[in-house]
Structure 1
Amino acid sequence: MPATCKPPLVSITIIKYPKQYIFFALLAMAIHRLPLLVNRGIYFWKLLGCGKGGGFSRQPDWRQWAVLTSGDQIDFSKISHEQLLKKLYGNFIAGWYRFFRCGVSTILLEPVSGHGCWDGKQPFGSLAPGAVPVAPVAVLTRATIRAGKIKRFWEHMDEVSHQLHRVPGLISSLSIGEIPFLKQATFSIWNSSEDMHAFAYGTVRHINVVQKTREEKWYTEELFVRFKVLVEYRSVL
Structure 2
Amino acid sequence: MKNSYYAVANGYTPGIYSTWKECEKQIKGFRGARLAVFFKFKKTLSNSSQGTSREQTTSKRKFVTSDDDIAKLKRYKSTLYENDCANKILRDFRGDIGAPIVYTDGACSANGRRGAKAGIGVFWGDDHPDNIAEPLKDGPPTNNRAELMAVIVAVKQAVNKGLSCIIIRTDSNLLIQSMNNWIKSWRLNGWKTANGQDVKNKDLIVELDKWLKRVRFEHVAGHAGIYGNEKADELARKGAALYNS
Please indicate, yes or no, whether the TM-score normalized by the shorter chain is above 0.5. Answer: no
Higher strand share: 1
Structure possessing the higher relative contact order (Cα contacts under 8 Å, 6 or more residues apart):
1
What is the TM-score with the length of structure 2 in the denominator? Answer: 0.24
Q: Max radius of gyration: which structure?
A: 2
TM (norm. structure 1) is 0.24
